[in-house]
Structure 1
């Protein structure tokens, strides 16, 4: 097996404890527009793009006038009411910095909108080691379609065998597999090991992977240090 040289991270539920907040924003926005949806029904879909989630729970197309209003209100609720209370999972900053120190290149692949993603990445406290990020604006189809992961892979310009995806939902696993990548799963997003079937390893979250890094699939990575990026080179 080739040594891993690049890591593609999901964000929500993987680096940032935000899955419940996303579900709450959707439930509240939908209720304002007269659509009563249970929190649990939405929560199980967090991780796929909103363009797929909305029609799944309501039958409303995200491209319709009503769909656009609901999606816009959902983003507003999330950004203004919920985002200020969110935090990164324990070990997020340390994991990202250690992977960078070992010479791995780090990119982000998220179904989130670019503005939302930028604010979420600030919460990691390690924006200086994130090489680039792909969001919903970089792909025609959101997760579990592979477009966003493929866009991140294109930025890395590394062979598939030298890149691994790290995510917390079955949608991450499916998107990565359809892009030809292996996935390391995190339980931090609330999914069981059986739901994360197809991963090459599963950890509780960033801190757990960091603690077991030397016995993980990332153990064979280069130990060549990388230079810290300048503020102009940082994604966020």
Structure 2
């Protein structure tokens, strides 16, 4: 899926809880701006600060912290990323993942790649328990 099409995906959550994770520290100016935007599109948004994780991607620690905060097992999660670091972190955490294609990104990694329609179908049929 081309990177430009990510924004419309963010609004498709409806009543579902779709966790979002980024490598940007929640305490940073950019992080606070992202959280504000995501809060408009999603029922529940969590944030993390650099102090809550021991290592960044491709280490699995950041994914494990997100899973704990949402109260879901790795088997119930799908990580959507755009770099090989995302893929590696998801694999180490035992989480399924898909990667978005974007210019300059290295997609020479194992994993699941979907065309636009199939990715939308997969995301629409996911359920998460975070309450």
Distance 2:120 2:15 in 1: 11
Among 19, 31, 39, the alignment partner of 1:106 is 19
TM-score by length of 1: 0.44
Shift of 1:90: 4.3
TM-score by length of 2: 0.74
**Alpha carbons of structure 1 residues 131 and 191: separation in structure 2 relative to 1, 3 Å:** same
Q: Does 1:132 align with 2:39?
A: no
Alignment of 1:24-43 (within 5 A): none
Specify every segment of 5 or more residues in structure 2 that has no aligned partner in the other structure, as ranges.
Answer: none
Q: Determine if contact 1:184/1:202 at 8 Å carries over to the other structure.
A: yes
**Alpha carbons of structure 1 residues 138 and 181: separation in structure 2 relative to 1, 3 Å:** same
Shift of 1:191: 1.8
Which residue of structure 2 aligns with residue 152 of structure 1? 66
**4+ residue segments displaced more than 6 Å:** none
Q: Determine if contact 1:160/1:181 at 8 Å carries over to the other structure.
A: yes
Distance 2:100 2:6 in 1: 13
Alignment of 1:66-85 (within 5 A): none
Q: Determine if contact 1:164/1:182 at 8 Å carries over to the other structure.
A: yes
RMSD of equivalent CA atoms: 2.7
How many residues are matched? Answer: 122
**Alpha carbons of structure 1 residues 184 and 102: separation in structure 2 relative to 1, 3 Å:** farther
Task: Answer 1 or 2: which has greater strand percent.
Answer: 1
Distance 2:96 2:18 in 1: 16
Distance 1:161 1:180 in 2: 7
Distance 2:39 2:65 in 1: 19
Structure with bigger gyration radius: 1
